[in-house]
């Protein structure tokens, strides 16, 4: 009986490389997103970052805008105590 230890299947290797690369790519993009938010929030704050991202999306995709109350709708105001 032949010893099959040490022999590698090129297709299995390629699949392993593909999966590892996909995982690292997803991780890198995710980490990039986290660092983007971290850098933005620590520099200009959540609200300003939010506004800037919305303005960029609006510039890239004309016709989109930040969510607003529907016309004629009554804004709900929550206040504390009387």
Partner 1 sequence: MTTPSPLWFIDRSAGEVTLLLMTGAMVVGTLRAALPSTSPAVFEGIHTNLALLTVAFAAVHIVASLLDPYAQLRVIDVLVPLASAYRPVWLGLGVVAAYLYVAAVATSWPARRWRRNPWLWLHRTMYVAWVVALLHSLGTGSDARNGLFLVLNVAAVAGALTVFIGIRILEAWPTSPKRSAVLAGLAIAVVVGLSLWAATGPLQAGWAKASGTPPELLRSR
Pick between residue 24 and residue 78 the one whose CB is nearest to partner 1.
24
Q: How far is the CB of 26 from partner 1 (least distance, A)?
A: 11
Q: Does 14 bind partner 1 (CB under 8 A)?
A: yes
| CB-neighbour burial class of residue 12 (10 A; exposed 0-12, middle 13-18, buried 19+) | exposed
Name which position in 2, 3, 4, 34 contacts partner 1 (CB under 8 A): 34
- Strand segments, DSSP code E, in 4-81 are none
| Contact with partner 1 (CB under 8 A) among 44, 58, 64, 66 | 44
Determine if 26 is a binding residue for partner 1 (CB under 8 A): no
Go through 48-69 and write b for each residue having 16 or more CB atoms within 10 A of its CB, e for each that does not.
ebeeeeeeeeeeeeeeeeeeee
Q: Is 20 in the site for partner 1 (CB under 8 A)?
A: yes
């Amino acid at each position: 009986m032949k010893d099959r230890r040490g022999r590698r299947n090129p297709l299995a290797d390629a699949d392993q490389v593909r999966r590892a690369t996909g995982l690292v790519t997803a991780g890198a993009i995710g980490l990039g997103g986290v660092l983007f938010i971290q850098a933005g929030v620590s520099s200009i704050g959540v609200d300003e970052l939010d506004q800037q991202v919305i303005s960029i999306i609006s510039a890239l995709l004309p016709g989109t805008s930040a969510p607003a109350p529907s016309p004629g709708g009554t804004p709900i105001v929550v206040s504390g105590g009387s």
